[in-house]
Structure 1
Amino acid sequence: MKDSKPSPGKGGLNAEIQSRIGHQLRAMYDDVVRQGVPDRFAELIRKLDGSGPSHPQINPTGDFDAKNSGRD
């Protein structure tokens, strides 16, 4: 059975390099998460959450609701 892990001499990354990449990715992701959601996006989400029946609704099949085809 073949080993699924790449070996260092054949174009793969050794464990130390993978670990360093992982640490860098986590640091970058943590920085993005700390920035939070911009106010304009938060406002848009609030508007979408409060949308009434005049806006097209998606049913469980992924189609627009028959009441409104989305063409106002």
Structure 2
Amino acid sequence: MREAKKQGGLNAEIQSRIGHQLRAMYDDIVRQGVPERFVELVRKLDVPPPGPHVEDTGGETIKNNGRD
């Protein structure tokens, strides 16, 4: 009995070529580094926003939905 031929699969050589090209492309992107504007945005996100501080009341849940 003949086995059904697998359709749509890529042979090992094609997979290897695709992998090599993807690595080359992504290595180039990684070498470019992070744009300074993104670094600045991340720095701003790391700083807590100014505003009212909600204190822990020992188990009570306090919801601050901006209507203070």
Give the deviation of 1:18 after TM superposition: 0.2
Unaligned runs of 5+ in 2: 52-61
Unaligned runs of 5+ in 1: 1-5, 55-64
State the aligned residue count.
Answer: 53
Normalising by structure 1, what TM-score? 0.59
Normalising by structure 2, what TM-score? 0.62
Identity among equivalent pairs (%): 72
* Distance in 2 of aligned mates of 1:70 and 1:45: 24
| Residue 51 (structure 1) aligns with | 48
> Which aligned runs of 4 or more in structure 1 are off by greater than 2 angstroms?
51-54
Superposed CA RMSD in Å reads: 2.6
Q: How does 1:1-72 map to 2 (within 5 A)?
A: 7=6, 10-52=7-49, 54=51, 66-67=63-64, 69=65
